[in-house]
Chains A and B, each alone.
Chain A
Amino acid sequence: MSEPILSFEDVRVSFATESGTVDAVKGVSFDVKPGEVVAVVGESGSGKSVTSSTSMGLSAENATVTGTVILDGKDVTRMPAGELRKLRGNDISMVFQEPMTALNPVLKVSDQMAEVFEIHGRAYGKDAVAKSIELLEQVGIPNAAERIYEYPHQFSGGQRQRIVIAMAIANNPKMIIADEPTTALDVTVQAEILDLLRTLKDETKAGILLITHNMGVVADMADRVVVMFQGVVVEHGPAEEILLDPQHPYTKRLLEAMPRLRDTSLTVNEPSPVVAAEEVAPGDYVLEGRDLALAYKHRGRSKRVVEGVNFGVRPGEILGLVGESGSGKSTVAKAVLGLLEVDHGELLIRGKNLPKLPRREKKALRREIGVVFQDPAASLDPRFPIGEIITEPMVIHKVGTPKERIARAEELLEAVKLPRDVVNRFPHELSGGQRQRVSIARALALSPSILIADEPTSALDVSVQARVLDMFSELQEQYEFACLFVTHDLAVVDQLADQIMVMEKGRVVEQGRKEQILTSPREDYTKRLLAAAPVPDPYKQRARREARRQLLTAQGIALD
């Protein structure tokens, strides 16, 4: 057994805050050996990122760190600032979560990459750029010799993450810390980045500390897993053991909470028989889009982002709108909410064409639509108490007396399983999941017949997401609203939706019943999407990886 390259021994971190000291990490010990991927899994507040940042001496200023972090035989926690700087980027480096902000937008990629070499005195000027080009080729940026002189915004999100990774491996570090490296990326891109990390690990023999909340990523990458909860390691061991035979109740709950995609037979390439679309009378839909085209106006010019979209949602049915970023799925939701004007086509709500209605009728029709947005931090006005937030739709539409409104708010809070006295609390006292539940309560205040949910759970932790989704389907049965559920997560759709519509680049790729789309997709894009979603089972995931490889080769898409 080789010596560990990085080891944490009884690390404790506490933060001094306005309301007193908060213990974020309460005695964590584990180590990482060269050429090994150790995944630290946990939800928000588990202390996983705080723990890893101690290994680079990057703790926040109000943090107090005790215990020892030993990197390659040296104690990082007691190192002076100058020594630490020599260490960072040289012996240990980091891949960040958000590729959009990890690169400096005003510097060319060549300058930023050469910097890594120049700081540590490895190479200067032209040599450094030449080395950078080699690295970019290694991480799979096509045409690297020319593209290196471009600015970060000229690359796609996945390519930017590749550049960040290239910078992290530039000085052959012994240890790479990847803090949620794929969380901000689409599933198909995530799969590519994970492939890249796997190859690089084998090439460089560096130890990788992978911080993630996604059990699928863990199954795909990790050799060993450390599960953290509320600042404590609750369980650690080899990935297979933890994922397939978890011991601690928390790990079990975490795995249960993860929405699972049904097994799909992606290898079946023969077109499945086209089921004749059930004929529905137009009046049957509560929400219907006919040949919808939507455009954003910018400086007087309009740019179409969605074109030729047809869909219909029947009462009490959930339509899952799936797509990656830039597919136009949220744009469709925006149009239904009246936040964006319809460029072409018809948008029918209960048979009435919304864009063509006079203003008063439009407002009246808004009572029929509830909305839940993605970001729990921004979807509630921070200055309103929860009671006022929930009753806002009632105030706008002048429904009920103040007393009745509060009674309704309390009733709704109970429906979303929050205590009644929350009416007098403020959003900043609530966690993300609780806020999202308040959001749902607000959306239901007027008992709408249509609910628009724009990625309502994608910012939440897995177990919280499971709670919210369970609650969501319960409420759906109870209130029987039709729902347009926008999401990027196929597994969530599998759990919730009746119908699925897959979008890519502003156009509908495939739509139909959930079972049909998920078990026997007809279009290549849908297949790729399904193949890219990781499952929390290392053996299955290995098989899926192979299946994805074959699928991509069959579709004529090159792999790096």
Chain B
Amino acid sequence: MSENNSSDLEQQMTDLAEVEDAKLQNKGRSLSQNQLVLRRFFSHKPAVLSLIILVFCAVMAFSSLGYGPIPGWWDKTHTATGPVIDGGRPTMFQNGQILGEHPFGQTQMGQDYFAQVMYGMQQSLIIAFVVGIVSTIVGVVIGALAGFYRGWIETILMRLTDVVIVVPLLVIAAVAGQMVGGRVWLLALVLGLITWTGLARLVRAEILTLREKEYVAASIAMGSSAWRIILRHMVPNSIGVIIVNTTFSIAAAILLESSLSYIGFGVRPPELSLGFLINYYESASSTRPWLFWFPGIFIVLIALTVNFIGDGLRDAYDPRQKRVGDRRPGLLRSLGLRNRRAEERVAGAGNAYGTPGTATHPVSASEPKGNTMRFWRKK
């Protein structure tokens, strides 16, 4: 109703400035950029679903066994052995019970595998998030300094970045992992210190474009210090790039840690991680396949959900990706199972030239909705 009133009013006014001022008066609550981003994020269904799953996994991992002195609700530990029941088969959803005695089964030595997987997941999540945070901090600092100061500072920092990039990641990670001797927090810190390169380059590029913005020029002209410009103007305005890449680096860290532990250079006993579990019980995978499947499923689940959250954040931050009504990505479409636009094109292609059914209207590569690769990872 108010919509109609305001448009009637517009017609009576004869000055664009008046119309604009009236529109401003009629506006409701203001939303900051962050609030807008959050709103867009929460309308991205796959991302929200992923967030729920990830939070559920994390809560389950930490609450079941507890962390440090805090006790959990699961009565077994990952080290204690017990009698092997029914060949160690999982009891989940067996004989009308939901979890049963050993929901994920038991190892050859009779340890409860649910406890082991939960413990491994704790360690993997800790590593993933610490790596994400450390690499983000290092990447942002180096990228921002290089982009803002230019000159010799940039040369030194960017050549340093190049040096870190050209060394194969797995090799340097394996050497570093060997040195820290399997301690989880240290391993995470070290992995964080070698995976910041991509973000540093992205942040530098972002800062370079922000340098040319007039609000930065205005701030310099007002006499503000370099630190103020970097911290108040530049970093907050590149937060989109930073957050999105942090999520992707978390997903990458999960995989890196798994591969490292799998080849034996990462987490070592008495500590556990999901990758370590796969490595350790590899030989048993034919006789006791659940020992392989459960940690595997959780690795894939964490990496996938973090990736989807990153996708959601990217779409929410990227102003070019205008989401419209029913064009918001549904769950099926983002999984590639359904593509409404493709169906439309085929239906309307009867009169077009060229091969029937392949005609498209001009869709440029910059047009996000026209890009079928857009749910692929953007690096």
Contacts and interface: CB of A to CB of B under 8 A. Distances in A.
A151 interface: no
A397 B215 contact: no
A1 interface: no
A62 B369 CA distance: 11
A396 B224 contact: yes
Contacts of A339: 217, 220-221
A278 interface: no
Interface in B312-330: 322-325, 327
A169 B228 CA distance: 53
8 contacts: A44-B16, A232-B11, A379-B218, A396-B223, A426-B32, A429-B27, A431-B20, A434-B21
A362 B225 CA distance: 12
A383 B25 CA distance: 21
A84 B64 CA distance: 63
Interface in A50-108: 61-62, 80-83, 85
Contacts of A367: 223
B227 to A, nearest CB: 12
B17 A433 contact: yes
Given A383-B237, A396-B224, A62 B324 contact: yes
Given A82-B353, A383-B237, A18 B218 contact: no
Contacts of A250: 14-15
B268 interface: no
Nearest to B23: A431
A230 interface: yes
Interface string B101-136: 000000000000000000000000000000000000
Contacts of B220: 337-339
B217 A337 contact: yes
Nearest to B19: A230
Interface of B: 7, 10-11, 14-17, 19-21, 23-25, 27, 30-33, 36, 40, 213-215, 217-225, 228, 233, 236-237, 322-325, 327, 348-354, 359-361, 367, 369
B322 A81 contact: no
A381 interface: yes
A236 B222 CA distance: 48
A435 to B, nearest CB: 10
A81 B352 contact: yes
Interface in A309-367: 337-339, 362-363, 366-367
B221 A82 contact: no
A457 B361 CA distance: 38
A62 B327 contact: yes
B214 A374 contact: yes
Nearest to A374: B214
Interface stretch (A31-39, A459-467, A484-492): A459-467
Contacts of B27: 425, 429
A229 B7 CA distance: 12
B12 to A, nearest CB: 10
A452 B221 CA distance: 10
B225 to A, nearest CB: 8
A107 B301 CA distance: 47
A374 B350 CA distance: 49
Given A393-B222, A422-B24, A80 B351 contact: yes
A249 B21 contact: no
Contacts of B351: 80, 82-83
B216 to A, nearest CB: 8
A385 B33 CA distance: 10
Nearest to B327: A62
A464 B17 contact: yes
A17 B16 CA distance: 22
Given A373-B218, A385-B32, A396-B224, A229 B14 contact: yes
Contacts of B219: 381, 392, 396
Given A253-B14, A464-B16, A366 B352 contact: no
Most chain A CB inside 10 Å of its own CB: which residue of B7, B217, B223, B324: B223
A290 to B, nearest CB: 21
B134 to A, nearest CB: 25
Contacts of B322: 17-18, 62
B11 to A, nearest CB: 7
Given A80-B350, A396-B222, A383 B361 contact: no
A164 interface: no
Given A81-B359, A464-B20, A379 B14 contact: no
B259 to A, nearest CB: 38
Given A81-B348, A230-B19, A379 B215 contact: yes
B234 to A, nearest CB: 10
Contacts of B349: 81
A373 B217 contact: yes
A406 interface: no
A357 to B, nearest CB: 12
Closest 9 CB pairs of A and B: A366-B223, A82-B352, A80-B351, A337-B221, A250-B14, A373-B214, A431-B20, A379-B214, A363-B223
A375 B25 contact: no
A425 B11 contact: no
Nearest to A43: B16
Interface in A383-432: 383, 385, 392-393, 396-397, 418-419, 422, 424-426, 428-431
A211 to B, nearest CB: 16
Contacts of B33: 382-383, 426, 428
Contacts of B236: 383
A383 B237 CA distance: 7
B215 A380 contact: yes
A189 B369 CA distance: 38
